[in-house]
Amino acid sequence: MQNRRKIEKLKGSMTRHHEDMRVELVEWGKAEPAIRGIRETVFIFEQAVPEELEWDGLDPLCAHALAWNDLGEAIGTARMQAKGTIGRMAVLKDWRGRGVGRALLQTLLDLAARQGLSRVTLSAQTHALGFYERAGFHVIGNPFMDAGIPHRSMIRDLLLPQADPEKR
């Protein structure tokens, strides 16, 4: 509940626009059909992730970012757990390579910084390592399999706002 209030408070300031799309923080309860549609298409149908692994029950507890095209169609999504674990990043095939994933990720990184988190983590599919490295993440640990797909754990330290020297 407290996480939901924080998200609501930040929603207006977290909308990003990029050419023909926008990204905003959304509530799971209101955006669930759009988020499910994207994740089912990308993870369950394209990548053959079993439904029981995709729907882990954590969504109501997470912050969600959703990308929309200029026609109002949902085209990408990602989520972040309260302690800064980003995941379930999915962009529809026709929108990949057009900055949607970057905008989703940046929206969640901005939220993490505003919440005072000093670092964020994620589990990246190995084919996407370069995408996350360009966003400042680095690999930690050994490769592992998740839902039959090779992954690597990644971490990024966030720059926290400097304390005002006059307040010391």
Does the residue 113 lie in any domain? yes
Does the residue 132 lie in any domain? no
Q: What is the pTM of this model?
A: 0.83
Instruction: Give one word for 74, left, alpha or beta, with left for phi > 0 and alpha for psi -120 to 50.
Output: beta
Give the CA count within 13 Å in the CB-facing half-sphere of 90: 22
- The answer to whether 80 touches 86, Cβ cutoff 8 Å, is yes
Does the residue 136 lie in any domain? no
Does the residue 153 lie in any domain? no
pLDDT at 7 over 50: no
71 pLDDT band (50/70/90 cuts)? very high
- The answer to whether 107 touches 99, Cβ cutoff 8 Å, is no
Does the residue 160 lie in any domain? no
CA dihedral 105, 107, 112, 113 (to 10 degrees): 110
pLDDT digits (tens, 9 = 90+) for 111-161: 999 999 999 999 999 999 999 999 999 999 999 999 999 999 999 999 765
CATH number, residue 7? 3.40.630.30
Q: Residue with structure tokens 């309860």?
A: 29
85 pLDDT band (50/70/90 cuts)? very high
- The answer to whether 124 touches 151, Cβ cutoff 8 Å, is yes
- Give the range of the structural domain holding residue 51, as residue numbers without chain letter: 2-117
Helices H / strands E in the chain, number of each? 5, 8
pLDDT at 59 over 80: yes
Does the residue 86 lie in any domain? yes
Say how many domains are in the chain: 1
Does the residue 138 lie in any domain? no
Candidates 12, 58, 17; CA nearest to 35 is 58
Question: What does the pLDDT average to over 22-40?
Answer: 97
Question: What does the pLDDT average to over 60-65?
Answer: 97
Does the residue 165 lie in any domain? no
